[in-house]
Amino acid sequence: MEESNEKFKPQRKILIATDGSKAAENAADFGIEIAGLSRAKVYAVYVIDITPFDSILMDEAWTKDMYEQFEKTGREATSYVEKNARAAGMEAESILLKGNSAKEILNFAEKQKVDIIVVGSLGKSGVQRFLLGNVSEKILRNSKIPVLVVREIFKFPKFVSRSQRNAKV
């Protein structure tokens, strides 16, 4: 019996990558449920990726405004994850990073010794995926850490906790 307990290691740190999309919210809901089962700390991570604009000459004021807008979007996206994780009784932390999304998420996960990465996916294929890139696919292919990809079409049912059930009875 003790041997099997050593093989099963509960997840203690879960990184939930978000971009504020519906797919990311679905993944966050799923990741928070997993975190709750293992009493894990949740990292809500948003990456400001301005690399597509590196080759374009832009006005400095416009660049600053654009970056501030990305920061605002990132704070809103991570806030959704952090608030829901805290409401479920977990420790949660919002993280904003800057750079290539997949690389930054993987670097952060390795530095923090995260046990699992949870990401959403729109399920794009073919030309759409080639043109837009796919952060979840890049994470999945390059991660040394287990990755859970939650499709946009999946909606995780929110269960009523025991304490909520007991309060209603």
Backbone angles phi, psi at 96, to 5 degrees: -110, 125
Question: Does 162 have pLDDT greater than 70?
Answer: no
The answer to whether 35 touches 44, Cβ cutoff 8 Å, is no
Q: Pull the structure tokens for residue 92.
A: 């949660």
Domain that holds residue 77: 10-168
**Residue 3 lies inside a defined structural domain of this protein:** no
Q: Count of domains in the chain?
A: 1
Q: Please state the rounded mean pLDDT for residues 77-81.
A: 95
The answer to whether 106 touches 5, Cβ cutoff 8 Å, is no
**Residue 154 lies inside a defined structural domain of this protein:** yes
Q: Residue 89: which of 133, 137, 40 has the closest Cα?
A: 40
Please report, for the domain that includes residue 139, its CATH number. Answer: 3.40.50.620
**Residue 1 lies inside a defined structural domain of this protein:** no
Q: What is the tens place of the pLDDT at every residue in 49-60? A: 876 666 666 677
**Residue 119 lies inside a defined structural domain of this protein:** yes
State pTM to two decimals. 0.78
Q: Please state the rounded mean pLDDT for residues 21-50.
A: 90
The Cα 140–Cα 106 span in angstroms is 10
Q: Please state the rounded mean pLDDT for residues 129-157.
A: 76
Backbone angles phi, psi at 87, to 5 degrees: -65, -30
